[in-house]
Amino acid sequence: MTESTPVAAPRRAALAPAAPTHLSADIVARARELIALYPEPRSALIPLCHLAQEQDGWLTPEAMVDIAGLVGVTPGEVLGTASFYDMLHTESVGKYVVAVCTNIACLLGGAAELLEHAEDSLGVGAGGTTGDGTVTLEEAECLADCDRAPCVQVNHRYVGAQTPESFDQLIDELRSGARDADIPAHGTLIRVRRTTGIEADPAAVVEERRAAADARAAREAASDGGGA
């Protein structure tokens, strides 16, 4: 009987960064600015997902490939992360995502009746998109606007408590473009565009990246020693 040769556990293959082909030059430029703020490029994954949604309204498979190349992970890891968060959509949504909160404070304030009215007037159930692609209706958990029940958000902007009548008026205003100034198309977040409040000292970023690399190398060395 021959002695079997120990086989080392396969290490994660190094990912060759691929040039973005789907995201626009403007989006990629901002993505690189965001990546530069973090010790690890992959830490910018979620902000980059929001940027991609700014372009397409949702996270397309092509955008996920670009994001993966930009931060050094696989497209599957982008999908695995994005699918965890309600604000990130991995399937097509309407220009306006209208979320009706049905958590306790809003439920007591008539949310169930409002959602039922919204489904009837839009002709889609919660989770559905109107045939013209304008509105996706969502049933949401607490949106942190409990004192204005029943709370409604459109594209993550608060629009205050709604009655069935005011809801219909809101939808009319969205369709006519009358709310374009305060409610941009789905995916547009100020957070990934602001230029103040998230600035970082470049020297500090370099130092944090070095420390992170050292810590990673130490973990890998300890892992190799433990498996010997």
Among 18, 36, 87, 142, binds ligand FES (CB under 6 A): 142
28 binds ligand FES per the rule CB under 6 A: no
Residue 180, token pair as written in the block: 């374009």
**Does 146 contact ligand FES by CB under 6 A?**
yes
Of 77 and 139, CB closest to ligand FES: 139
Rounded to the nearest angstrom, the gap between the alpha carbon of residue 170 and the centroid of all alpha carbons in its chain is: 25
Helix extents (H) in the chain: 25-35, 45-56, 61-71, 75-82, 104-108, 111-122, 164-176, 202-227
Question: Does residue number 52 form part of the binding site for ligand FES (CB under 6 A)?
Answer: no
Residue selected from 104, 198, 206, 222 as contacting ligand FES according to rule CB under 6 A: 104
Q: Which of positions 84-103 make contact with ligand FES (CB under 6 A)?
A: 101, 103
- Backbone φ, ψ for residue 62 (5° rounding): -65, -40
Residue 199 φ then ψ, to 5°: -70, 145
Element containing residue 77 per DSSP (H, E): helix 75-82
Of the candidate residues 143, 185, 205, 212, the single one contacting ligand FES (CB under 6 A)? 143
Using CB under 6 A as the binding rule, whether residue 215 contacts ligand FES is answered as: no
Distance CA 18, CA 203 (A): 27
Q: Closest distance between ligand FES and the C-beta of residue 72, in Å? A: 37
Nearer residue to ligand FES within complex by CB, 130 or 162: 162
Nearest approach, Cβ of 166 to ligand FES (angstroms)?
Answer: 16
Told to check if 145 binds ligand FES by CB under 6 A, we report yes
Distance separating alpha carbons of residues 64 and 35, to the nearest angstrom: 15
For residue 210, give both structure tokens.
């070095």
3-state secondary structure of 223: helix
Any idea what DSSP says for residue 78?
H
Of residues 106 and 192, the one with the C-beta less far from ligand FES: 106
Which residue ranges make up the site for ligand FES (CB under 6 A)? 101, 103-106, 142-146, 149, 151
